[in-house]
Amino acid sequence: MSDLNANTTEELAPEDRLAGVEPAIKAEILAEALPYIRKFHGKTIVVKYGGNAMTEERLKHGFARDVILLKLVGMNPVVVHGGGPQIDNALKKMGKQGTFIQGMRITDEETMEVVEWVLGGEVQQDIVMLINHYGGQAVGLTGKDGGLIRARKMMMPDRENPGAMLDIGFVGEIDAINPAVVKALQDDAFIPIISPIGFGSDGQAYNINADLVAGKIAEILKAEKLIMMTNIPGVLDKQGNLVTDLSAREIDEMFADGTISGGMLPKISSALDAAKSGVNTVHIIDGRIEHSLLLEVLTEQAFGTMIRSH
């Protein structure tokens, strides 16, 4: 959990860092945000929250304040969080090693128990507490709450044996999303914080990739934006250069030649599906940059990679 009373230079930084900025420049920055505040007022913005932004104290505190600001100026942020490093740490303490196939965690029964208490407990409550600490009103949800995420067992295609399927344990794919509970919270000025845990018709819990959940929730809520926070500047080409704009065709080519692989596969697939399903813009941004969320939503600067459906 965060030490909310930690009196570090980093956490005092926002006021201190701006102390030397001319008032006229501050006013100019605020004025630049106005068209975007007007454009996105009342619109839903789904944020996939993960990577360093979830583990570095300075970035965690900055993210909490940024989400509150979006809510206060009339937008409807919905946060879907990951927690891979936290799950790995918990497994390590038990003497277990996390294993992955094509970016998906193999989840046996014991691992699923860890996933539930780390994501639905520790990580989710950390985010909720930080937002509430800074004056927001956050509420944590899992797929069980209000029947939010109905899931079924996922079988993974075996790339080495075409036609064969791999059993990766209690990993789920989404059957249906019931947005009623999220909409009710938004209408009451709350910020929903969603853990990517789904439940089958038999009550079995499933670990679902957070990128998939964020993409599907953005589709169902008809979000204006889906913003995925990562530990890289965006999608990189084979030379390691940032690609600022990607179409569906270009993404298919990058899948085929292996430019996009591993943990980026579910992320880009979800982003593309969301773009094809009516989410206005989908962005993959670098969560290691402080206030990257505000930079994406409230400034003209092209930031990260934007994904288009055509």
Task: Return all residues near 159 (Cβ < 8 A) that are at least 6 apart.
Answer: 102
- Please state the residue numbers annotated as binding site for substrate: 83-84, 105, 207
Contact assessment for residue 60 and residue 11, using Cβ atoms and an 8 Å cutoff: no
Q: pLDDT class for 17, splitting at 50, 70, 90?
A: low
Name the pLDDT band for 6 (thresholds 50, 70, 90).
very low
Q: Provide DSSP, 82-105.
A: --HHHHHHHHHHTT----EETTEE
Which run of H or E residues covers position 248?
helix 248-256
Q: Which residue has the higher pLDDT, 76 or 101?
A: 76
Express each pLDDT in 161-188 by its tens digit.
Answer: 888 898 999 999 999 999 999 999 988 8
Domains, the chain: 39-307 (3.40.1160.10)
Alpha-carbon distance of 12 to 3, in angstroms, equals 14
In terms of C-beta density within 10 A (0-12 exposed, 13-18 middle, 19 or more buried), how is residue 241 classed? exposed
Q: Cβ neighbours of residue 19 under 8 Å, at least 6 residues apart?
A: none
DSSP states of 100-147: EETTEE-B-HHHHHHHHHIIIIIIHHHHHHHHHHTT--EEEE-TTGGG
pTM: 0.87
Contacts for 241-244 with beta carbons within 8 Å, 24 or more apart? 242/304, 242/305, 243/305, 244/302, 244/304, 244/305, 244/306
Residue 226 has pLDDT above 90, yes or no: yes
Chain segment 279-295, per-residue pLDDT in tens: 988 999 999 999 999 99
- Per the annotation, where are the binding residues? 83-84, 105, 207
For 36-68, how does the pLDDT look when each residue is reduced to its tens digit (9 = 90+)? 999 999 999 999 998 878 888 999 999 999 999
Is the per-residue pLDDT at 7 higher than 50?
Answer: no
